[in-house]
Each structure stands twice: as C-alpha cells, then as structure tokens.
Amino acid sequence: MAERVFITGIGAVTPLGIGRVQLWAGALSGKRAVQQLDRFDPSAFRSKVAGQVNDFDPKSLLDRKEIQRTDRFSQFAIAAAQLAFDDAGFTPHNGDPEFGIWIGTALGGVVYAERQYEAYQRQGIRAVHPMLALSVFGAASCCNVAIHFGLHGPSIANSNSCAAGAVAIGDAFRAVRDGVCRRALAGGAEAPLAPLTFGAFDLIRAMSTRNDDPAHASRPFDAQRDGFVMAEAACLLLLERESDVVARGVRPYAEIAGYGLTNDGLHMTAPRPDAREASRSMLAALREAQADPSEVVHINAHGSSTLLNDPTESKAIRAVLGDRTDRVTISAIKGMMGHALGATGAVEAALCAIGIREHTVMPLVNLESPGDGCDLHYAPPTALPLRQPLVLSNSFGFGGLNASLALRAA
C-alpha cells in the first residue's frame, strides 16, 4: 500500500554553507554568497562572478583513495549524503537492498573532462587520469554514493537541466511511496566552474555582467536583472516512509505530497510566452497532493534572474492562484547563492522543508523594484514568520522542462 513520504535528513554543500545548520543560517540571514570568480581567469568572458563553495574539504569525509578516484562533482554528492545521514541520525546498512539513490545534474563530470582534456592537449594521453571515463557520466555521483555506503537499491541519475534536482526528489518520492524502495537519498549535485563550461553559458548571454557588484548580481524578478549567476552546490534529502519515521521516533521536516513535470515543447532556452506548461506542472503537483490552490501560502519560485523566465513564471503563478495571488508569499534563493543548475532545485526544496518546520520563509534579496510582468507578492529581504501548511517549489530549466514539488507540514 502507498505510504506517506517524509524528509528526515538534509545534507548540503553550498555557497551559503555546508551542512543543514549552516545552510539555514546563511539563508535566514540573507547572506549574499556571490563573488568575483577566482577558480580560473575569467577575463575573456562577459560574466566574471559566481557562487563558489570555498570551504569544502573532501578529506574531512573521504579517504585518500576515494579522493583520488572521484572528481569534485562526485565528492560533493558523497559529502551531501553523509551530511544527510548525520542530520537524520540514521546509519545506513551496508548491503541494504531497499535503499534507493536519485541524483540530478545538468552537467555531471564535464568540468573534470575539461581539465583532463587540457592535460591531454599539453602532454598527450599519458597525462590523462585513468578515472576519466568513470567520472564524467551523470550517474557517477549516485554510483559513487552507492559504493561509498554499500547501498544496493535503485540508483538513478537524470540530466534534466536546471530542473534535475527537483525531478530526482519527485521520482524518489514516488518510488518510496509505492514501495519500490524503503528509503532514498534524493537531490542534485553540480560543480560547473571551469572555463569552457562557464564560457558556454556566457556565449549565449545568459549570465549577469554586473561584475563590479557581485553581491547584487543575481536579482530575481528585479527590473535591473540581467541574467543568472552560475554556482556550484550539492544537496541530498533523506526520504523515509511514514511507518519508519514513526518507528525511529524522529521529527521530520516536511512531507512530500505531490510532484508535477511538464515540458514546454517549444524552445531550448526561451519559455512558452503563455506559461501554460509551467502552470500545469504546479497544478499536477497539487493534484497529486490532493490539494487545492487555495491551500498554498508560499511558493518558492525558480526565479532565475533572467529577462524571460521571471515574468513567465509570474504569469504561471497567477494562472494557478487566480485572485489569491496577491496573498501568497513568493520567495527565491538565487539572489543569495546564484544558480547551481541541476542542484538548485534540491537546495530550494531543502530550505522550503526547513522553513515549513520552523514556520519561517527565507528572505528574498536584491529585489528593489519588480520588473515588467513580475507583479507578485514577494517575501521581504528579511526572514518572515509564517505557518505554511502547503508550499510549492518550482524548478524550470533549459529545454522547456518544468518541475514542481508540493510539500506539506508534517
């Protein structure tokens, strides 16, 4: 029989902080973690800012051999998994056949491939690391997590662009609910900060050029927004069925109650002007949650800070909420940490879940004056006390992908 599914652990490696406590503290304070990009020389690019994770030390969680056979992308995922287990007070059983892993990523290990190609160009094939072939594919993260902890249930990666983390959580929720597996880790991992990868997005003029003011470069829904800010991050949630939550006596953050996934079927970068499919993903999540739009009190918006996405998402939200739109609080975290592509939806879901349990909506920073078509009721630039029986979290991505998660108070 189908069981309710709850979030009991949160593991995060983000520019806002590492671990659930630091992540929430950073978000709650409205920390602006975007900075001048210093991982490589960005002088050739229009955009020179990013959301970096500067204090990640893989040696604190991985042994020497594991560090040698994994890239930063997979190291982020393993660390996020361990942090989620620690947060939940749960010790995974080596050999567990009922434990699933779902991890989304837009780019996987492409940055590692880029760096190995540089070595190849300089010194030939003998300079290439022998783990290259095993590091670049999208499923490397979930496979390395499975190997690290000895988990034998479903292990599934997706590359659904900027919606990947939310898609992973939605798919894992259904698997646990329907008995495909007993527990799951779900979320996203992304480590895209390298010249060619970064430059590819700069080339299509998708990123902000507010280089003289990095802290205010990412501006969801603001009239002065000029593109997204690329970031790196990983976030995994431990999902457990209700009977196990009760048996363990733990206090969950929130219940995952619904999930919607649609595609605009129109364009690789531009959203549908009528926002039909984005609104349909929200309605599908509500339908699965057996909820009405009138129950929603907070929506975490994708809020990418791009010229086309923000007004289109505003239109989609209005289509779903109708005359209640001006009474529903809209938040967006990308003003604080930038956009970590496939990992961002997982970070946002985690912050929504914590906020539900803490009766608090995180601040929306860098919104000074809403842009044309961005006429919503936004969260203030400081934390907002608010009881949230039902929350929607949106993740929209290149390729017309639209994912929405419905979270309930536990």
Residue 359 to residue 364: CA distance in whole angstroms? 16
Alpha helix stretches (DSSP H) within 230-343? 242-248, 276-288, 309-321, 334-337
Closest CA to 109 of 74, 57, 61: 74
Q: What is the pLDDT of residue 61?
A: 83
Active-site residue, selected from the candidate residues 142, 216, 339, 352: 339
Domain positions in the chain are 5-248, 255-408
Note if 302 is an active site residue.
Answer: yes
Through-space distance between the first and last CA atoms of the chain, rounded to whole angstroms:
20
Q: CATH fold of 255-408, please?
A: Peroxisomal Thiolase; Chain A, domain 1 (3.40.47)
Residues 161-193 pLDDT 10s: 999 999 999 999 999 999 999 999 999 999 999
Residue 389 to residue 356: CA distance in whole angstroms? 7
- Residue 1, pLDDT above cutoff 80: no
Residue 286 to residue 316: CA distance in whole angstroms? 14
Given its phi and psi angles, is residue 108 left (phi above 0), alpha (psi -120 to 50 degrees) or beta?
A: left
Q: How many residues does the chain have?
A: 410
Residues 317-328 pLDDT 10s: 999 999 999 999
Q: Please say whether the beta carbons of 30 and 336 come within 8 A.
A: yes
Paired residues of 230 in beta bridges: 339
Q: Please say whether the beta carbons of 110 and 197 come within 8 A.
A: yes
Alpha helix stretches (DSSP H) within 212-275? 242-248
Residue 375 to residue 284: CA distance in whole angstroms? 23
Triad 44, 47, 49: Cα angle to 5°: 115
Residues 302-316 pLDDT 10s: 999 999 999 999 999
pLDDT-based confidence at residue 348 (cuts at 50, 70, 90): very high
Residue 300 to residue 348: CA distance in whole angstroms? 7
- Residue 369, pLDDT above cutoff 80: yes
Active-site residue, selected from the candidate residues 142, 143, 148, 162: 162
Alpha-carbon distances of 210 from 49, 207, 214, 221, 330, rounded to whole Å: 8, 9, 6, 16, 24
Residues 59-88 pLDDT 10s: 988 889 999 999 999 999 999 999 999 999
Q: Which two tokens stand for residue 185?
A: 């880790």
Active-site residue, selected from the candidate residues 148, 216, 298, 302: 302
Q: Which two tokens stand for residue 339?
A: 């956009």
The DSSP string of 31-52 is ---EEE--SS--TTSS--EEE-
Residue 154 to residue 377: CA distance in whole angstroms? 40
Backbone phi, then psi, for 338, in 5-degree steps?
A: 80, -165
Q: Please say whether the beta carbons of 344 and 188 come within 8 A.
A: yes
Residues 207-223 pLDDT 10s: 999 999 999 999 999 99
Paired residues of 155 in beta bridges: 101
Q: What percent of the chain has pLDDT over 70?
A: 100
- pTM of structure: 0.97
Cβ neighbours around 89 below 10 Å, total: 12
Q: Please say whether the beta carbons of 227 and 208 come within 8 A.
A: yes
Cβ neighbours around 385 below 10 Å, total: 8
Q: CATH fold of 5-248, please?
A: Peroxisomal Thiolase; Chain A, domain 1 (3.40.47)
SS3 assignment, position 290: coil
SS3 assignment, position 88: helix
pLDDT-based confidence at residue 224 (cuts at 50, 70, 90): very high
The owner of tokens 């289509």 is 319
Residue 361 to residue 269: CA distance in whole angstroms? 30
Fold matches, 5-248 and 255-408: yes
